Amino acid sequence: MPTNRQVIRRLLFLGCAYVAAMIATLPFPLHEEGWFYLYFYRASFFWAFPAGLWFFFGHNADITEIIIAYCVYMALAVAAAVCVRRWILLVCYGVICALLILNVGGCRKVWTGVEQEFKSANPDTTK
């Protein structure tokens, strides 16, 4: 069994990957006018981040599927945090990273359409 310090380090390492993936879902350029509104509009949907995993495969996600995705992420994180063997940690981390990459791809796919709708609905805030 890993020590408490090892578990905390592993969870922080996994948390950094998750935060980096959430930031990667905000791909719009910051030099545009109106980016401030788009940023906070997108930030209001961070709770639904795992929906991107479903959107990547062309499926609309409801709250049940978002909860399922969160449970999968949490199960993999717990398995990675408490595993004894290093190869299990690496496999869990690899699966989490692969899922996060697919998740970001799905979120960016959705946000491209949402951003265009936002810009057309608010021409005074974006140019």
Q: 112: Cβ–Cβ under 8 A, 6 or more apart, which residues? A: none
The backbone torsions φ and ψ at residue 90, rounded to the nearest 5 degrees and listed phi first, read -65, -40
Q: Is the pLDDT of residue 4 over 90?
A: no
83: left (phi over 0), alpha (psi -120 to 50) or beta: beta
Cα(13)–Cα(123) distance, integer angstroms: 41
pLDDT tens figures, 37-77: 666 766 777 778 888 888 888 888 888 888 998 899 999 99
| Angle subtended at Cα 5 by Cα 87 and Cα 21, rounded to the nearest 5 degrees | 60
pLDDT tens figures, 98-107: 999 998 888 8
Both tokens of 56, joined, read: 């990547």
Contact 38, 115 (CB under 8 A): yes
Kindly tell me the burial class for residue 14, based on how many C-beta atoms sit within 10 Å of its own C-beta (0-12, 13-18, 19 or more): buried
| pTM of structure | 0.75
